[in-house]
Amino acid sequence: MSNPLLTPWTNDFAFPPFDLIKDEHFAEALDVKLANAREKLVSIRENTDAPTFENTIEALETLGEGVGRVLRIFFTLAGSDSNPKREELQREFSPLMAAFSAEVDMDPVIFARVDTVFKERENLDLSPEALRVLELTHKGLVRAGAQLSGTEFDRLKEVKARLAILGTSFTQNLLADEREWYMELGADDLVGLPEFAITAAKAAAVANGQGEYGITLSRSLIVPFLQFSERRDLREIAYEAWTSRGANGGETDNRELAAETLALRHERAQLLGYNTFADFKLETEMAKTPDAVADLLTAVWTPAKAAADADADILQKMMAKDGINGPLQPWDWRFYSEKRRLAEHDLDEAALKPYFQLDNMVAAAFDCAQRLFGLEFSEIKPPLYNPDVRAWDVTRKGAHQAVLVADYFARSGKRSGAWCSAMRMQQKLAGNIRPIVHNVCNFAKPAESEPALLSYDDARTLFHEFGHALHQMLSDVTYSSVAGTSVARDFVELPSQLFEHWLEVPEILKKHAIHAKTGEAIPREVLDRLLAAQNYDAGFNTVEYVSSAMVDLAFHRSEPTTDPMAMQDQVLAALEMPSAIRMRHATPHFAHVFAGDGYSSGYYSYMWSEVMDTDAFAAFTEVGDPFDEAVAARLEKFILSAGGSQDAEALYLAFRGQMPKVDALLAGRGLL
């Protein structure tokens, strides 16, 4: 029987045939495609013609296409629909891919050819995008260690291989802890929970086959439980389980993995001539230096902590009125904050949720994309990897633009959080290749025949990930290495965070926030209260985020620590972290930083991008129309379609004319 990963996909949109792909196909396909890639690598190395942009840079650009085709499908499944076999394969593939990357990135002959082309770049009459690809390719090889030799060369290969294994282990340990924890609830344990939370707890019990009600570590279950449960003792149990993921001892404990990762990253940076890993990592980002990141985080921390401290005093008094002695605890904050929000803004999460039906919020995102960029979405039924997954053909003026695949519901075997990836990248080098974009969330799945209801924060998450999807779907470049979200880490969150602003547009909410039972649009007075409360609890939200970013930066801008937990505590103590708030991501479950090095030294990037997204949306408000055609056209041209084809700061300046200051962020969060 043929392997579908090794044959052309001739169905509509050349879509991956998930109904035919089996786990046993991946290893065979990867072996074949790696062998093919190595043959191409040899042909580049042994080419006797003088190095040119075409026979060297473009040849490298297409070198791993077959490998990428296999791995993008594999990692789609490994992240969204894991099982023991896929976890085993992931452990096998990590060192294989690290070795192959080293073969390419650290080959002195390949580097010599690239270096020759690079030195002639001013005489080659390259397009701006081609010049950018050449510069990035050269810099990437230098940063990968291509100029090293001898023992340093060999050691760097070992370090990178070990880091790949550690990242995979960290991810799988975290998934195991999330999958295995479950708290059974009796009918008496449901006091205070609204109907939607009880329904979710019942669905969790059915999925786990234990009891009538239960709670898992899915954020869509834990957060409502912490907001509404009157059982303080159970809130504490649930909160501690949620925040201790990766730190429970035994085989799934991530603390030693984190320590080894930090040590190896530091060694990697020093082998390449940098003082610290943060110096190495930030060199190619907009921030450039650890000091610039620290300045941003410090500027935000001071007013955020002051706001959080003031809020904590109010919540402490509310708790005392309930006859509870002792300090406000982290498992109390969301509970009393929800009560305070109801009292001050007359906003009840349970009453709001029926207005935010998942299908309607999807339609709202599509509506905004149509009005801004002329995109149309038609649902299609290709073979998919899970019955809950949906797909759309995305067109503009009748022409195919992309396929959007969306996986919205939490389930066992799916890692937590929300993300956007591509099963196929946009490019023009090998023809007009349009992308297949993958949006993933973890919303609570409703009972059979009931609509899926979102919190307002859930709806923001949906818009956020759809913003990333737009960055992929509107990509219009020649080379896949700079397509879509292939940009500086502290720029990549701009499109996603910017798109969240359209959820705040009153006409969008009035049109799409329709009550699940009555069919009525959200009342104007409720809408006004909702928008007026946008910055409610900004102190809490900012403190838990910035503290995580501060710890990440501290880990990577100093000598490596053998005890990350002690260092984490030292950083938080120096910040005078409020006792009732904890880091959004404690070290043992800080997947952004330790599952790979994508956000290492870079967790600050959400805030760096937020400085820009607040200013970018102001381009629409300044002309009085959130759907202004001229501003939308500039946004697409300079941000969404350009990918990484130009320097990020140059792209933003072309769109907006100047770089914003941190005051824009503080004002947007109500912290000025």
Amino acid at 90: Q
How far apart (Å, rounded) are the C-alpha atoms in residues 270 and 163?
A: 15
Q: What is the CA radius of gyration of the chain?
A: 25
How far apart (Å, rounded) are the C-alpha atoms in residues 189 and 214?
A: 10
Residues ≥6 apart with Cβ < 8 Å to 35: none
As a whole number of Å, the end-to-end CA separation of the chain is: 65
Phi-psi region of 150 (alpha: psi -120 to 50; beta: other; left: phi over 0): left
Report the Cα 151 to chain-centroid distance in Å.
Answer: 36
Both tokens of 665, joined, read 């962020």
Which residues are bridge partners to 405 per DSSP? Answer: 391, 438
Q: Which of 504, 497, 507, 512 is CA-nearest to residue 531?
A: 504
How far apart (Å, rounded) are the C-alpha atoms in residues 440 and 624?
A: 33
Which residues are bridge partners to 402 per DSSP? Answer: 394
How far apart (Å, rounded) are the C-alpha atoms in residues 392 and 405?
A: 7
DSSP tag of 549? H
Alpha helix ranges (H) inside 605-645:
605-621, 629-635
| Strand order across the 399-409 sheet | 375-380, 390-396, 399-409, 436-443, 419-424
How far apart (Å, rounded) are the C-alpha atoms in residues 274 and 257?
A: 23
Which run of H or of E encompasses 404?
strand 399-409
How far apart (Å, rounded) are the C-alpha atoms in residues 452 and 304?
A: 34
CA angle (101 as vertex; 97, 106 as ends), nearest 5: 150
How far apart (Å, rounded) are the C-alpha atoms in residues 184 and 523?
A: 38
Cβ atoms of 44 and 56 closer than 8 Å: yes
Q: Which of 65, 129, 465, 493 is catalytic?
A: 465
Q: Which of 458, 484, 491, 480 is CA-nearest to residue 469?
A: 484
Alpha helix ranges (H) inside 46-83:
59-61, 65-80
| 251 catalytically annotated | no
Amino acid at 195: E
How far apart (Å, rounded) are the C-alpha atoms in residues 220 and 349?
A: 13
Residue 414 vs residues 26, 36, 289, 422: alpha-carbon distances, Å: 19, 32, 35, 17
Cβ atoms of 261 and 595 closer than 8 Å: no
For the annotated catalytic residues, the residue numbers are: 465
